[in-house]
Structure formats: structure tokens, C-alpha cells
Homo-oligomer: A and B are copies of this chain.
Amino acid sequence: MGITIRDVAEAAGVSTATVSRALRGLPNVDEGTRSRVQKIAADLDYVISPSASRLASGRTGSIAVVTPYIARWFFSTVLSGVEDVLQEADIDLLLTCIGDHNNQLNRSPVAPRLRRRVDGILIIAVPPADPQLRELIDLGMPTSMIGLTAAGVPSVTIDDVAAARLATQHLINLGHTRIGVISGSPSDAPFTAEFDREAGFAQAMNSAGIEVDPMLESYGYFSIEGGEAAMTALLTQPKPPTAVFALSDEMAFGALRALRAHGLRPGVDVSVVGVDGHDMAEHLDLTTVVQPVAELGRIAADSLLAQMREGGEQPHSARVDTKLVVRGSTGPALGTTPSPSSGSRA
């Protein structure tokens, strides 16, 4: 019921082979013939059959994006960057949500569903311990990861250790010494970012000669509610912190809310700094270390496309810079003369 390549071939008085070459821009086609074929194809409103093309060529012209969440800010923002690039490259984007490892959504494993269906895979911030991750990598197709690293697989990340150091150092520079941290979860499969950001926090504290007080560590499970609970826990300690580093902006949002609930002023009574550069951070006046999230997606998609093209090319990982953006949620420790802090005041 559709126009096929044969109809075009007949109308143009050439073989289907020539039509195929002409339309795909392959060499060894007379330019006159090519434009004639193009015109006829357009006139006939011919649309290639992807199924036939895929079957014959063995390429699917599509890639899968595998993500643990769709509706969370970080993930949807990465996704939008990815989509940007793929649409440009005329590659189909298959969206698949992997079950949340912690929540145990009992989704069927995604890896088998992807075989023979896509030419490449883009994985967004799956916890490295997720068993599905291995299956995906073992599929052996071009793969690129975002916010997550694994041996032998190219990835795009920020330097989470450095980002955490940046945030922590900012608090230290402001004269704080009782610095709390709102982490992800005590023991569950951590995201790469979680692990590294904790490390960066500890590094900054150590270099400044400040001891990390285990009493000032609390868990926010990367959610707003969690961050609120974590901050509340910190505030109800005998000696509460004067500043808190939250491993993510969303947890920092919760922390800010807890502060208000306790009648404390962010940036005055207690300083809060996050990491991510969430859209809402600006509106909540949160100091944060910004990462270019959509850009992460774009870079990873580009890298994946390169991998798919060249094949032999040694795929390499990219590391993207972050930037401290100082806002009202952080301020000098009371009774202290702060040393000049790095970062731009927004």
C-alpha cells in the first residue's frame, strides 16, 4: 500500500540499485541521475521502509537509552541532550526505563529486549552494582555511559570528587569547621557519583585539617523528603553543624526546607551547598556546583555515534568541568572572617 523503491525506479527509468545509491548519497552515481531520482522520489512522496532497509543492511539506525528514571530532573535533562543529537543524526531513540534497583520494580530485564533491535546503547547513571548493567555491556555493542564509569566502556562524567571538594572547600573558606554531609544511602548500591562525592568531601576536609565527624553524616537517599529528614536529624543533634554539604541539589532543597521549619535562615544560621545545578536551585537561592547536564547527554550521544561509525576508533571517555555558583544559601560562619572564596557570585 505504499510507494516502494521499485515504483521510483520505474518512474525514473533506472534500477532499484541506482535509486538506493542515489537517495542515500552514495558515490558512483551521476549527479544528473541523482537529482532526477530525488525529484521523482519526492514527487511520488516516497518514504523508505525502515524495516526492509534494516533487514537488508543489518543496521537498525536506532539506539537505546537506558535509564533508571525518566521523570527526575537529572535524567530527563540528560535525555533531552541525547535526543537533540540523535534527532540531528536521524537516528531513532528507543527509550527504556530499567527497573529501579532499590525499589525492585520487577521489570523484566532489558538487555535481551535490545538485542538485534538497536545499534548502540546509552546508559544513564545506573548504579554500578546493578546486575542489569553487566548484561547490557555484555551485549557487546557500541555503548556509552553518562554519570557512571565501568572498565572498558567510554563514559561522560563530571569529576565528582573535584566537584565535592569544590563545594566543601567553599564552606571551609567561609570559615566553617563543623560541616555536615547529607549523603545518599548507608549501604545500598551507590551511584558512582555518590561514592565519589563522599570521597571529595573527605579529601577537602582532610586537607583543611578538619576531622570528619561521623555524627554529622546523614542520609537523604537523593530525594527531597530524604534531604529534609536528614537535615532535621542533623539539627537535632547536641552540637549541630553550621554548614552542610548535600550530595545533590534535591537533597539540598529538602535541607533548606528543614531549616525554615526550624526557623533557621539558610546562609546565615546554617549554610547549605549542593551539587548538580538543578533548575530550581536558582529559585531557591541555593549555592551549588553546576554540571552541564544536557551537555553530558549531547557529548555521550556524539561519542556513541562516533563509535558506531568508525568502529575501529579507540573510544575514549570525557570528563566535563563543573563550576561553583555561589548564592544566598551559603554565608560566613558566625564570628569568623572568611577567606576569599572561589566561584562566581550569582
Contacts and interface: CB of A to CB of B under 8 A. Distances in A.
Given A92-B117, A117-B50, A80 B71 contact: yes
Interface stretch (A94-102, A143-151, A308-316): A94-102
Interface stretch (A17-25, A26-34, A51-59): A51-59
A116 B1 CA distance: 11
Contact of A52 (B55, B92, B93, B253): B55
Interface residues of A, number: 47
A56 B51 CA distance: 9
B87 A79 contact: no
A60 interface: yes
A47 interface: yes
A65 B92 CA distance: 12
A2 B79 contact: no
A83 interface: yes
Given A70-B79, A71-B294, A96-B87, A51 B60 contact: yes
A176 interface: no
Contacts of A239: none
A131 interface: no
Nearest to A285: B257
Q: Which 8 A-B pairs have the closest CB atoms?
A: A76-B76, A51-B54, A70-B80, A51-B55, A71-B80, A71-B77, A47-B115, A71-B76
